[in-house]
Amino acid sequence: MTISVTLRPLAPANESPGETTPLAGGPLHFAACEAVVRETRDGGIRELARARLAPGEVPSWAARFGPGAVEQARRQLAALSAPRPAFAGLSLTQPCLMGILNVTPDSFSDGGDRFDPGRAVADGFSMIEAGAAILDVGGESTRPRSEAVGEAEELRRILPVVRALAEGGALVSIDTRRARVVAAALEAGARIVNDVTAFTGDPRGLSLAAEAGACVVLMHMQGEPRSMQENPIYADAPLDIHDYLAARVAACEAAGIARGRIAVDPGIGFGKNLAHNLRVLNHLAVLHGIGCPLVLGVSRKSFMTKIVPGVAPKARLPGSLAANLAGLARGVQILRVHDVPETAQAVAIWEAIQGGGGD
């Protein structure tokens, strides 16, 4: 039997720091949190208690479930408020944009647009000029029901692009689940590894990233791309994802990757139905309890068509902006997006409004 405690900050907002607790050391603060205690026994999960509490009330409330629960509560409270260190050299005091650079013929919304390496490199530098801090280069589509690409083909697609961007001064992330591609991309100049399997698909990538001193993004995915949307099941999607990512962070630390080099991504659309996606988006702040920066990838995702039917991928900018701004309101630090100029403008306006309060 295992007891777990999870804390979700409620209604983060720009409040007086003297009255509230800072969220991840950023501009948002919270005055209350939802505390949940769950029990895992024989492979099943059962919720024992749930309460809305002020941060100072959490430890004494958790005490009824034993000293281990109190220790978990104290650790999460500290993680919820602690400032996040720079990630891959980027300050997280304001939102960062990660531009999506797919060099594939079959990605769900931009397949073929940048299959030519020269076009991909030029578009990457244009994204930087428009406000992207990171360029995330991917050579294999992981859209629902996609088929795997051969390792040699993935390398052929990404290496000239990664090398040219890195030589031009860009901060490059490699979006891959293969250790050999991790090694080659890091050698070509990538500094971040973004793995949709959180290094469970090819665990060798974890040691390679550790040895290279790379930063990593760990994403949650239930199942694998070809079948992940068939029947996803969760006890409580945000809490299950929290627990999974917390365990993967611990695995990274055990492999020699410091927590300051780790970011986490809830994996919107990866093994989740509409109800799961919406609940995870609404409860994103629970992931701050892991103590790592949050990456959110909602750009052009198909869950939007379940809400507004018939909208083609490249016509989903309004929905993407709405979901990204909802993420910022819950303390997300890094937005992974296709439409960099438009998102940069929306973020700038959101920040101005957030900072323009007062009486």
Pair 137, 156: CB distance under 8 Å:
no
* Spatial distance between the Cα atoms of 239 and 246, rounded to a whole number of angstroms: 10
CB atoms within 10 A of CB 221: 25
Treating both helix axes as pointing N-terminal to C-terminal, what angle do 237-254 and 274-282 enclose, rounded to 10 degrees?
70
**Which pLDDT score is estimated for 21?**
92
> Pick the catalytic residue: 157, 178, 261, 301?
301
Distance (Å) of CA 121 to CA 115, 116, 135, 180, 208: 10, 9, 10, 22, 25
Within 8 A by CB and 6+ apart from 61, the residues are 35, 51, 53, 73
**Which pLDDT score is estimated for 224?**
78
Pair 176, 198: CB distance under 8 Å:
no
Higher pLDDT, 147 or 3: 3
**Which pLDDT score is estimated for 165?**
98
Higher pLDDT, 34 or 148: 34
> Pick the catalytic residue: 84, 143, 316, 336?
336
Question: What would the mean pLDDT of 72-89 be, rounded to a whole number?
Answer: 97
Question: What would the mean pLDDT of 168-181 be, rounded to a whole number?
Answer: 97
Within 8 A by CB and 6+ apart from 47, the residues are 36, 37, 38, 39, 235, 236
**Which pLDDT score is estimated for 129?**
98
- Per residue in 119-148, pLDDT (tens digit) is 999 999 999 999 999 999 999 877 666 667
**Which of these, 13, 5, 29, lies nearest to 80 by C-alpha position?**
29
* Spatial distance between the Cα atoms of 307 and 314, rounded to a whole number of angstroms: 16
Least confident of 84-88, 138-142, 209-213: 138-142
- Per residue in 344-355, pLDDT (tens digit) is 999 999 999 988
* Spatial distance between the Cα atoms of 289 and 188, rounded to a whole number of angstroms: 34
Q: Which amino acid is at 297?
A: G
- Per residue in 264-311, pLDDT (tens digit) is 999 999 999 999 999 999 999 999 999 999 999 999 999 999 999 999
HSE value, Cβ hemisphere, 13 Å, CA-based, for 194: 28
Look-up of token digits 């991928």: 313
Give residue 17's pLDDT band: very low, low, confident or very high (50, 70, 90). Answer: low
* Spatial distance between the Cα atoms of 70 and 60, rounded to a whole number of angstroms: 7
CB atoms within 10 A of CB 13: 15
Q: What is the 3-state secondary structure (H, E, C) of 55-116?
A: HHHHHHHHHHHCHHHHHHHHHHHHHHHCCCCCECCECCCCCEEEEEEECCCCCCCCCCCCCC
Instruction: Check whether 225 has a pLDDT greater than 80.
Output: no
Question: What would the mean pLDDT of 151-171 be, rounded to a whole number?
Answer: 96
- DSSP state string for 240-288: HHHHHHHHHHHHHHHTT--GGGEEEE--TTSS--HHHHHHHHHTGGGGG
Please confirm, yes or no, whether 301 is among the known catalytic residues: yes
Higher pLDDT, 194 or 357: 194
N-term to C-term CA, the chain: 51
**Which pLDDT score is estimated for 1?**
75
* Spatial distance between the Cα atoms of 298 and 114, rounded to a whole number of angstroms: 20
Residue % of the chain over a pLDDT of 90: 84
**Which of these, 51, 49, 7, 61, lies nearest to 30 by C-alpha position?**
7
Question: What would the mean pLDDT of 47-58 be, rounded to a whole number?
Answer: 97
Residue 130 DSSP class: H
Give residue 168's pLDDT band: very low, low, confident or very high (50, 70, 90). Answer: very high
Pair 351, 332: CB distance under 8 Å:
no
- Per residue in 228-238, pLDDT (tens digit) is 777 889 999 99
Look-up of token digits 């409580």: 236
Domains of the chain, first to last:
2-81 (no CATH), 96-355 (3.20.20.20)
**Which pLDDT score is estimated for 136?**
98
pTM score above 0.85: yes
Instruction: Check whether 111 has a pLDDT greater than 60.
Output: no
Instruction: Check whether 85 has a pLDDT greater than 90.
Output: yes
**Which pLDDT score is estimated for 228?**
72
**Which pLDDT score is estimated for 16?**
59
**Which of these, 86, 66, 64, lies nearest to 261 by C-alpha position?**
86
Please confirm, yes or no, whether 46 is among the known catalytic residues: no
